[in-house]
Amino acid sequence: MTPTHMSRRAFAGAALSGAAALATAMALPAHGAAASSAPPAPLPPLDTTALRAAIDDLRHPPSTAAQLRVGGAAGHWRGTSGVSDISTRRPVAGNDKVRIGSITKVFVATVVLQLVAEGRVALDTPVRHVLPGLLPARFSPVTVAHLLNHTSGFPDHVGIPEPSTAEDVLRHRFDHWTPREWVATATHGPLKFAPGTRQEYRGINYVLAALIIDKVTGRPYGEAVAARVLRPLDLAHTLVPGDDPRIHGRHVHGYLAMADGSLGDVTTYDQSSSRGEGDMISTTGDLDRMLSVLFSGGLLPPELLQLMFTLPPDDVRMLDGSPARYSTGLQQATVNGVTLWGKTGETYGYKNAAFSTRDRRRRFVLAYHPTTARNGDESQMIARIADLLTRTRTPASAP
């Protein structure tokens, strides 16, 4: 089988679903951090002119469209830029659907923690006990908690072609994987490190987390997400597509720049290799509501919600030695002294960020559509939006 999944390491450095690039643009958090009891950092008033200019700049990175929704007690603003379809030139609208990539993980982690709250699975349960026969015996130490905060130590995927061009992406976009086939590619060889001792952001963790939801609930993870999160919150435009490679209803197309200078449409795409870790579809409005309700305690009991705002212990570092930045289902970033929690996400032609302060005073959901990926350059729009929403100007620095 030739898979459609193109390694993010291979495609011009678009690694880690934008997380590493975002971290370089934002100050890294102190490791071992949980939600702080210190007074909240001041937030600037919204500069709507600057926000408009930030999303209208579709050259940095080269993009076809952008949507931004800012919420919270510190101010609200919505804006769109560009077109949803380059052939019809229809302007993008604020409720157009997009592929949300790794923001899927927030939904999956929430449902797993709900199952923990119900006593149907425990965080310290070895994954092999929940999913017998799927992982080799040498992976016995890996627990459910290790999956959710990316401290499992799974080895790299083996046997996955790594296309190096946009043409290759289009050529293989309908190849299909079963979850068991995909897991098998990441279970060769020994664990990279003892579970719980290091952190490495890996999608395979959430592929397995979704399989745990399948097993515990007795139905596909998408049905559990819909029953436990989407319908209760009335997230009518959010869905888990399953085997359907299309986006139905009003949506923004994703494109990749081809070698001849044209843009290839990658909207319709088999997401089977991203099941549970990056396959969901949503809108900026639905994602904003999800963050608001989740952070307010509307989906989880306090002790489990707190896990989503707690990084691993101080001695747990990323493989490059930098501080751990992923909690259970979320990531943390500090910008201009303001701590944000949320998630980035990307898939070909789609890039997203959904972040909020812990107290929900300032939230933002950004969805845009880069046509290239270049070692972090594709995260420029996230960085400039985050800066505008957190930088308090002093009289001396004001124009």
pLDDT in tens, 346-396: 999 999 999 999 999 999 999 999 999 666 788 999 999 999 999 997 655
| Alpha carbons 185 and 200: distance in angstroms, whole number | 17
Taking only the tens place, the pLDDT of each residue in 199-249 is 999 999 999 999 999 999 999 999 999 999 999 999 999 999 999 999 999
18 and 381 Cβ atoms separated by less than 8 Å: no
Question: What confidence tens digit (pLDDT) does each residue in 172-187 have?
Answer: 899 999 999 999 999 9
What pLDDT shows up at residue 20? 45
Check pLDDT > 70 for residue 46: yes
Question: Could you tell me the pLDDT band of residue 3, with boundaries at 50, 70 and 90?
Answer: very low
Greatest mean pLDDT among 34-43, 265-274, 370-379 lies in 265-274
Decide the pairing of beta strands 77-85 and 90-91: antiparallel
From residue 74, alpha-carbon distances to 308, 359, 388 in Å are 23, 11, 13
Tell me the CATH number of domain 15-390, given options 3.40.50.300, 2.40.30.10, 3.30.470.10, 3.40.710.10: 3.40.710.10
Give the tens place of pLDDT for each residue, 56-96. 999 999 999 999 999 999 999 999 999 999 999 999 999 99
Q: What pLDDT does residue 396 have?
A: 53
- Among candidate residues 12, 5, 2, the one with its CA nearest the CA of residue 275: 5
Whole-model pTM? Answer: 0.92
